[in-house]
Structure formats: C-alpha cells, structure tokens
Amino acid sequence: MLFLDEHYRALHRDLDRIASCAVATLRIATGEHPGDPGLSALVGDLAVRSDRFAELWAGHPVASHGYGTRRLRHPEVGDLELEQENVALADGSGHVLMMHSAAPDSPSHHALQLLRMRAADDNARH
C-alpha cells in the first residue's frame, strides 16, 4: 500500500522517510527468509510497479525500525503525530505488533478521542 495506493500514500506527511524505513525492514525480512516465494514475489512486483521502491531497493538499505514518530494526515481530523513502537510476538510466528500512541493532552490525543467518539456513534447507529 505504501508504494502503490495513492490514498494510503496521502496519509503520510513524511512519506519518503517511511518508505525508506519500510524498504530497509523488508531487506531484513528477505535476509531472514532467503528463497521465500512470497517475499520474492512481493519484491519483484513492487520493483516493477513502483519506480520509488525500485530506487530504494537498489540502494540495499538494511535497518530495523522498532520505534519512532509517525506523522499522518487524517482526512477527518487533520494532522496527527503518533509515537510508534513495534514489539515482536514471543510465539515465534515472526509477527510484529505495531502500537501507536499520542502524547497526553496533545492535539493528536484530542483528535484520536474525536475519532473514537465518532466510531462509537457509528456503532451505536448500526
């Protein structure tokens, strides 16, 4: 989605940084699972369909990004700044839990509260 979906791309205020991090993390995954047909297909598809992905992939970045700041642009509540922390699950599945939070009493915190209230209202109506 980060390289091929324009709507998703528009949500990221710092798209270049996020794209670079995604490629560097994907490079680690391909190293940990050499010959994985799904990963090979993903890399091949992205390299063909996204010039930006191909450019970043050719740079051979390798890095793990376990935490950081996500700067998003939400269509309903505007700009958000969220802290992200990734935690590898201990079950050996290779899955990673990505958690996002806003600083207490920050504009992003209030925006998330507004979204939560809207979602609750929508659920109550259905």
pLDDT per residue as tens digits for the range 77-104 = 999 999 999 898 999 888 889 999 999 9
Cβ(5)–Cβ(65) below 8 Å:
no
Question: Do residues 49 and 79 both lie within one domain?
Answer: no
**Tokens describing residue 117:** 């209230």
Question: Do residues 54 and 5 both lie within one domain?
Answer: yes
Question: Do residues 17 and 45 both lie within one domain?
Answer: yes
Q: Give the angle subtended at the CA of 53 by the CAs of 47 and 54, to the nearest 5°.
A: 50
pLDDT digits (tens, 9 = 90+) for 26-81: 998 899 889 999 999 999 999 999 999 999 999 998 877 778 899 999 999 999 99
Cβ(56)–Cβ(43) below 8 Å:
no
- What angle in degrees, to the nearest 10, is found between the helix axes of 51-58 and 15-32? 60
Per the structure, the complete domain to which residue 31 belongs is given by: 1-65
pLDDT at 48: 97
